[in-house]
């Protein structure tokens, strides 16, 4: 694994029928991390996952998993052998029973753990003889998770694992992920538009917006470096363009100028001094704020 990254993409682009699903996505997922892949619906999360698993081929750019090229059909088989996947619709074979689905899936993975299988069957309270068609969404998710966890994968790729689940089921799923990652050192890459899930269990995040990476990094670094700085002026806040690095966004409203900085406050405050604000104030920024500020702004 080159440089300790399980997944690496560089300027990844994908056009589906003339529509740009990805427009330059660059992410590096460190080995052993729980990586939250955040974006609004339609931002390109599922497309990225499909490319990583060889279900779709990139139009341009590079994507590798375990250092293997994801676009190569032969390498892709090796990638999938070491990867557990939970799709966003929790798709399984409706005609099978829980047990049948498990045996079918297990047959593809020589390292399948019967012990983990029994453990998760009990823990998730999945009736082995039940038909898949009769399972609730939460149960399907848990079964899909079981299938992904028991195969001895080095990487788990989950597309919106908690979407549509009630809080209790969400907690069960996240807890199983965290516990599994702690026990086995498995790298977890999960997409979500649920900020709370990402904040809770991720240590690295990428925020993507309309097919492009908007923010990436260690979550702790983001929490430590992102600051919202408020400058209050005597008259209307001046129209000013900051030169200092890390200014993500500036909003003016009457006497108040709000600056979102991704590099702490000192640079911004130093530069702001020449504008003679009457008061300055700063506050830490939550992931939600970062998300809303980088993604949801209409331009």
Partner 1 sequence: MFRPNAASGVPIYLQLMEQVKHAIETGALRAGDQLPGIRPLAEELVINPNTVAKAYRELEHDGVIELRHGAGAFVTGAAREKKLTDRLRAGQAIVAAAVDKLRARGVTEAEIRRLVEAELTRLTVKGDQRG
Partner 2 sequence: MIWQQAFFETRWRFLIGLVLLPVSAMFVALSYAQVTALAQSVTATPDTALGREIATAMEMAKRYDSYVWSQWFQRNGAQLGAFFAAIIGTGGLLSQSAAARLFTLSLPVSREKLLAARAAAGLGQVLALTFVPALVIVIVSPAIGRSFPVLDALAYVLCLFAGSAVFFSLAFFLSSVFANVWTPVVLSLCAGPVLGGLDVITGGGFSLPRMAHGESYFYGHGLPWLMLLISAGVSLTLLYAGTRLIARQDF
The span from the CA of 46 to the CA of 159, in Å, is 7
The span from the CA of 98 to the CA of 128, in Å, is 5
Q: Which does 91 bind (CB under 5 to 8 A by kind): partner 1, partner 2, none?
A: partner 2
Minimum Å distance from CB 13 to partner 2?
A: 13
90 part of the interface to partner 2, by CB under 8 A: yes
Do residues 191 and 45 make contact, with C-beta atoms less than 8 angstroms apart? yes
Cα distances from 291 to residues 42, 152, 196, in angstroms, run 15, 33, 12
Q: Which does 93 bind (CB under 5 to 8 A by kind): partner 2, partner 1, none?
A: partner 2
Find where tokens 């399972």 sit: 135
Minimum Å distance from CB 115 to partner 2?
A: 21
92 part of the interface to partner 2, by CB under 8 A: yes
Instruction: Please say which residue, 90 or 212, places its beta carbon nearer to partner 2.
Output: 90
Instruction: Please say which residue, 72 or 282, places its beta carbon nearer to partner 1.
Output: 282
The span from the CA of 259 to the CA of 228, in Å, is 6
Among 4, 10, 16, 127, binds partner 2 (CB under 8 A): 16
Among 2, 42, 60, 94, binds partner 2 (CB under 8 A): 94
Segment interacting with partner 2, rule: CB under 8 A, options 30-38, 51-59, 239-247, 253-261: 51-59
Among 5, 85, 124, 190, binds partner 2 (CB under 8 A): 85
Q: Which two tokens stand for residue 53?
A: 């698993």
179 part of the interface to partner 1, by CB under 8 A: yes
Do residues 136 and 98 make contact, with C-beta atoms less than 8 angstroms apart? no
Segment interacting with partner 1, rule: CB under 8 A, options 41-49, 52-60, 246-254, 280-288: 280-288
Q: Which two tokens stand for residue 143?
A: 């079964």
Strand ranges inside the chain, DSSP E: 5-16, 19-30, 34-39, 60-65, 68-69, 83-86, 155-159, 187-192, 204-209, 212-218, 227-232, 247-253, 256-261, 279-284
Cα distances from 38 to residues 109, 180, 214, in angstroms, run 30, 21, 10
Do residues 153 and 84 make contact, with C-beta atoms less than 8 angstroms apart? yes
Among 72, 97, 200, 258, binds partner 1 (CB under 8 A): 200
Q: Which does 149 bind (CB under 5 to 8 A by kind): partner 1, partner 2, none?
A: none
202 part of the interface to partner 1, by CB under 8 A: yes
User: Where along the sequence are the contacts to partner 1 (CB under 8 A)?
Assistant: 32-34, 171, 174-175, 178-179, 181-183, 195-196, 199-203, 219-220, 223-227, 264-266, 281-289
């Amino acid at each position: 694994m080159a440089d300790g990254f399980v997944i690496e993409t560089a300027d990844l682009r994908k056009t589906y029928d003339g529509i740009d699903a990805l427009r330059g996505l660059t992410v590096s997922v460190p080995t052993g991390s729980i990586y939250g892949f955040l974006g609004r619906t339609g931002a390109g999360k599922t497309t990225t996952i499909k490319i990583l698993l060889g279900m779709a081929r990139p139009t341009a750019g590079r994507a590798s998993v375990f250092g293997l090229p994801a676009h190569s059909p032969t390498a892709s088989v090796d990638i999938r052998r070491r990867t557990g996947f939970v799709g966003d619709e929790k798709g399984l074979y409706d005609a099978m029973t829980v047990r049948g689905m498990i045996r079918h899936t297990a047959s593809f993975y020589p390292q399948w753990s019967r012990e983990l299988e029994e453990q998760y069957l009990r823990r998730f309270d999945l009736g082995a003889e039940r038909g898949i068609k009769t399972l609730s969404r939460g149960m399907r998710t848990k079964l899909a998770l079981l299938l992904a966890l028991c195969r001895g994968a080095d990487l788990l790729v989950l597309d919106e694992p908690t979407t549509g689940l009630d809080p209790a089921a969400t907690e069960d799923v996240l807890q199983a992920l965290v516990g599994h990652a702690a026990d086995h050192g498995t790298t977890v890459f999960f997409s979500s538009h649920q900020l709370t899930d990402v904040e809770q269990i991720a240590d690295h995040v990428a925020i993507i917006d309309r097919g492009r990476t908007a923010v990436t990094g260690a979550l702790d670094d983001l929490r430590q470096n992102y600051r919202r700085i408020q400058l209050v002026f005597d008259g209307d806040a001046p129209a000013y363009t900051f030169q200092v690095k890390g200014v993500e966004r500036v909003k003016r409203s009457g006497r108040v100028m709000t600056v979102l900085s991704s590099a702490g406050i000192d640079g911004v405050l130093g530069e702001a001094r020449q504008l003679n604000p009457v008061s300055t104030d700063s506050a830490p920024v939550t992931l939600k704020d970062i998300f809303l500020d980088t993604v949801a702004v209409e331009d």
